[in-house]
Amino acid sequence: QDAAAEFGFFWPPDPTSAAFCTIGGNLAFNAAGPRAVKYGTPRENTLGLRVVTGAGETLRTGVYTTKGVVGYDLTRLIIGSEGTLAIITEATLKLTPLPETKRMLQAVYKTMRDAAAAVSRIMAQPITPCALEFIDHQAINMIRAYSRATLPEGAGALLMIEVDGLEAAMEATLAAVVAAAQSAGAIEIKVAASVQEAQELWATRKALSPALRTIAPKKINEDVVVPVSRMAELIDGLTQLSQHYQIPIVNFGHAGNGNIHVNLLVNPDDHAEMARAERCLDEVFSLVLALNGTLSGEHGVGLEKRDFVERELGATAIKLMRGIKTEFDPKGILNPDKMLPPLHQ
């Protein structure tokens, strides 16, 4: 990013792991972060790849033009495949001009449902934020403990909204987003007074996931995605599951595209609690699929979600994907046993 910025450009993906992940690792998981709501994921921001397959063959994928439909899109297939098909040795990335200016808003709501409903309104108006983050009441308590941010009493959820664009249009942009964020459940909407204040808010948001480890021995972290129009239903369902199974659930994430990080807080030494958590997680996935969602937005499948994959994709899709895996990696040496359920299941 520093190198691109010298020429007035940036690469839009901005995952929490940006400070230490490699480009290849980022592409392998298609991890995007907050800015995906406006600029897309690594798939939309990569022109082509050079890779080595599991059979030792070198392959070049993609086109270096804005259009191209010759053959299948192997670039998008390999990106997000978790290293199971090929090793990425080179990537040609699509850079975007840096915006003239950015502004950040913080909107506080009485309830999580109020905030979820506001997300739908914000995404239904013509101006697309470059980030739209959702934080629930339990995460708000963590913000109070881990930052200097002050939030009003009665805060049940908050949205962090960032907009970018031309300086001349920014006041109109802010007005449109604030109007969409207003609702009966809105307690407070304010614009960050300085670049430093905006940076502090982002630092607090990115610290939420590691901070969870300080309030529970273990977290079961899922990154489910539902259509933005179904977010309020997702939040309601998660609240009910948390109460039913007596498992604390902390929710935050990229609300602008419906990608919510659902964190079940558990004690692995409490076997009864872990059993409840497993049943709870199973119902979380059922809820997500019932809302036409997907089980992972960017964290990947690996081993943890592998046994749930067929529930989303179906047997025919799994069969075709196994065939693709075999063509790329006939000996099964690349990240073996990940993503797809084993044949005996």
- pLDDT truncated to tens, each residue of the chain (345 aa)? 999 999 999 999 998 888 889 999 999 999 998 999 999 999 999 999 999 999 999 999 999 888 899 999 999 999 999 999 999 999 999 999 999 999 999 999 999 889 988 998 999 999 999 999 999 988 888 877 776 667 788 899 999 999 999 999 999 999 999 999 998 799 999 898 888 888 877 777 777 776 777 788 999 999 999 999 899 899 999 999 999 999 999 999 899 999 999 999 999 999 999 999 999 999 999 999 999 999 999 999 999 899 999 999 999 999 999 999 999 999 999 999 999 998 765
User: What is the C-alpha to C-alpha distance for residues 190 and 337, in angstroms, rounded to an integer?
Assistant: 48
The answer to whether the beta carbons of residues 19 and 11 sit under 8 Å apart is: no
- pTM reported for the whole predicted model: 0.90
- Set out the domains of the chain in order of their start, with CATH numbers: 2-97 (3.30.465.10), 101-192 (3.30.70.3450), 212-290 (3.30.70.2740)
Under DSSP, is residue 227 helix (H, G, I), strand (E, B) or coil? Answer: coil
Q: Which residue type is seen at 325?
A: K
* 36 phi and psi angles, rounded to 5 deg: -60, -25
Instruction: Give the Cα separation of 100 and 103 in Å (integer).
Output: 11
What is the rounded end-to-end Cα distance, in angstroms, of the chain? 43
Q: DSSP code of 168? A: G
